């Protein structure tokens, strides 16, 4: 029996006793290692990687991308930010646009938001009923399993766990700092009113996923980067990959 995750019981800050400078040194090393692993992945082209970043507004999804993948080559990366569906996307099932963005062998695909939005924002606002939520959850599990068994896709899903107070700080910063104004969206404050419902829906999605999630504390941004880089490096180090020999 798998233990259910309770988000309220999981800290949003770095573990006690962790030092920022020390951790940043470790992160730097991990980021470089991830770059090396990506090169191997790309050269061998037998496996693929999907990194899903989900979290409330202000949880630092963009920042995580910049920091963690800094040593990766863009030729081996694709980054897809899933926003409000276009008219064409909306005229298809919810996984249609997601499947198109799935990584080919040798590539790392990063999803900034993902197919999970379709059982988060849509559920929070009651745009879909509970039966549809259940059907979509089953479809998500089947989809992720398909990528895993049929395309050697290693899937890393991160829930960027932010506290409600830290979110407020982040959203206020966007309004206060001119070079963050472009990130400010008045709608974020409205979504914030549904905080508890979002937490419930996240918890439910996480607990019903067949491929497990990593709950990443993000109130300390330096720990966020360490956590994601460490998880990816540990995971990818276990994948048996070799540099292909010269073809003669």
Task: Give the interface with its own copies as residue ranges (CB under 8 A).
Answer: 45, 88, 91-96, 99-100, 102, 104-106, 132, 135-136, 138-139, 142-143, 145-147, 149-151, 153
For its own copies, the closer CB: 64 or 109: 109
Rounded Cα distance between 66 and 62, Å, is 7
The pairing of strands 213-217 and 77-81 is unpaired
Q: What is the smallest separation between the CB atom of 79 and its own copies, expressed in angstroms?
A: 18
Q: What is the smallest separation between the CB atom of 42 and its own copies, expressed in angstroms?
A: 12
Q: What is the smallest separation between the CB atom of 187 and its own copies, expressed in angstroms?
A: 25
Rounded Cα distance between 28 and 36, Å, is 13
The pair of three-digit structure tokens given for residue 9, joined into one six-digit string: 């019981």
The pairing of strands 153-161 and 213-217 is parallel
For its own copies, the closer CB: 138 or 237: 138
Q: What is the smallest separation between the CB atom of 96 and its own copies, expressed in angstroms?
A: 6
- 3-state DSSP assignment of residue 21: helix
User: Most distant CA pair in the chain: distance in Å?
Assistant: 63
For its own copies, the closer CB: 102 or 201: 102
Burial of 48 (0-12, 13-18, 19+ CB in 10 A): buried
For its own copies, the closer CB: 93 or 173: 93
Q: Are 228 and 68 in contact (CB under 8 A)?
A: yes
Rounded Cα distance between 229 and 162, Å, is 18
Q: What is the smallest separation between the CB atom of 127 and its own copies, expressed in angstroms?
A: 13
For its own copies, the closer CB: 9 or 87: 87
Q: What is the smallest separation between the CB atom of 135 and its own copies, expressed in angstroms?
A: 5
For its own copies, the closer CB: 99 or 125: 99
Q: Are 60 and 12 in contact (CB under 8 A)?
A: no
Helix%, strand%, coil% for the chain, nearest 5: 55, 15, 30
Rounded Cα distance between 51 and 195, Å, is 24
For its own copies, the closer CB: 47 or 224: 47
- Report how far apart the first and last C-alpha atoms of the chain are (Å, whole number): 51
Q: What is the smallest separation between the CB atom of 241 and its own copies, expressed in angstroms?
A: 16
The pair of three-digit structure tokens given for residue 199, joined into one six-digit string: 């937490």
């Amino acid at each position: 029996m798998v233990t259910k995750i309770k988000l309220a019981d999981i800290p949003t800050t770095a573990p006690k006793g962790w030092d920022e400078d020390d951790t940043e040194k470790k992160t730097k090393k991990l980021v470089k290692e991830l770059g090396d692993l990506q090169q191997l992945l790309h050269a061998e082209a037998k496996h693929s990687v999907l990194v899903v970043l989900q979290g409330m507004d202000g949880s630092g999804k963009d920042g995580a991308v910049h920091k963690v993948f800094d040593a990766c080559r863009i030729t081996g990366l694709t980054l897809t930010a899933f926003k409000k569906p276009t008219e064409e996307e909306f005229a298809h099932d919810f996984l249609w646009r997601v499947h198109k963005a799935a990584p080919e062998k040798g590539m790392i695909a990063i999803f900034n938001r993902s197919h999970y939005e379709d059982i988060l924002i849509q559920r929070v606002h009651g745009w879909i009923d509970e039966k549809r939520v259940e059907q979509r959850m089953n479809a998500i599990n089947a989809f992720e399993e398909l990528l895993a068994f049929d395309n050697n896709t290693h899937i890393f899903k991160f829930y960027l766990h932010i506290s409600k107070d830290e979110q407020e700080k982040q959203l206020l910063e966007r309004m206060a700092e001119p070079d963050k104004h472009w990130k400010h969206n008045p709608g974020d404050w409205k979504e914030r009113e549904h905080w508890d419902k979002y937490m419930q829906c996240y918890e439910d999605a996480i607990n019903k996923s067949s491929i497990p999630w990593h709950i990443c504390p993000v109130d300390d941004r330096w720990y966020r980067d360490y956590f994601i880089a460490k998880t990816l490096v540990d995971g990818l180090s276990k994948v048996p990959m070799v540099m292909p020999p010269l073809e003669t």
